[in-house]
Amino acid sequence: MRAAEATTPQVTTQDREVAILAGGCFWGMQDLLRKIPGVLETEVGYTGGWLENPRYEDTHDGESGHAEAVRVVFDPRKLSYADLLEKWFFRMHDPTTLNRQGNDRGTQYRSSILYTSEAQRKTAEEVKARVQASGHWKGPVVTEIAPESSWYKAEDYHQDYLEKHPGGYSCHFLRAWQ
């Protein structure tokens, strides 16, 4: 296995912006996120923990503090950050379950938005409040909103996993609310 390299995602121009989202197993998240109009690229990885150069074996039990996450590069002229969160992220996972999605349990499966700018932080807080007030979810939205931290790309076999393994495990789907 290769050693992960720490990077800080720093892409913010007129036609490219980065969002870092965690909402359970990164396979299902990536599979849905890559299909959104305006998304340019996706990459799965680990972030938000204390262990440097984590591997899957270090994160799947929650011992590293890292969450499984997806780094999303999108075109903000075609997809706003607010829409990415409100129309997609908060619909594709259950943001009311603390450290859990489906059968996956542990802090590595937490719901988290890791903002890359003060503008993203503000937007994330506003969208979270709207989603909470909407009544679409029965319980309180527990999604954490935190500053970005070092990004560690996951092993190659995790990248585009559900494209390589159609019908593989995923607890993610888009809820039908508008």
Q: Walk me through the domains of the chain, giving residue ranges and CATH numbers.
A: 6-164 (3.30.1060.10)
pLDDT in tens, 115-137: 999 999 999 999 999 999 999 99
Q: Does 62 have pLDDT greater than 80?
A: no
Phi, psi of 88 (to 5 degrees): -125, -65
- Secondary structure (H, E, C), 43-84: EEEEECCCCCCCCHHHHCCCCCCCEEEEEEEECCCCCCHHHH
Q: Is 72 exposed, middle or buried (CB count within 10 Å of its CB: 0-12, 13-18, 19+)?
A: buried
Of 12 and 60, the one with more pLDDT? 60
The set of residues, in sequence order, having a beta carbon less than 8 Å from that of 40 and lying 6+ positions away, is 16, 73, 74, 75
Task: Please give the helix or strand (H or E) that residue 105 lies within, else none.
Answer: strand 104-105
The catalytically annotated residue of 19, 25, 114, 127 is 25
In degrees, to the nearest 5, what angle opens at C-alpha 83 toward C-alphas 93 and 117?
Answer: 95
- Annotated active-site residue 25? The verdict is yes
The pLDDT value given to residue 2: 46
The pLDDT value given to residue 171: 87
Compute how many other C-beta atoms are within 10 angstroms of the C-beta atom of residue 10: 8
Residue type, 129: A
> 124, 85 in Cβ contact below 8 A?
yes
pTM of the model: 0.89
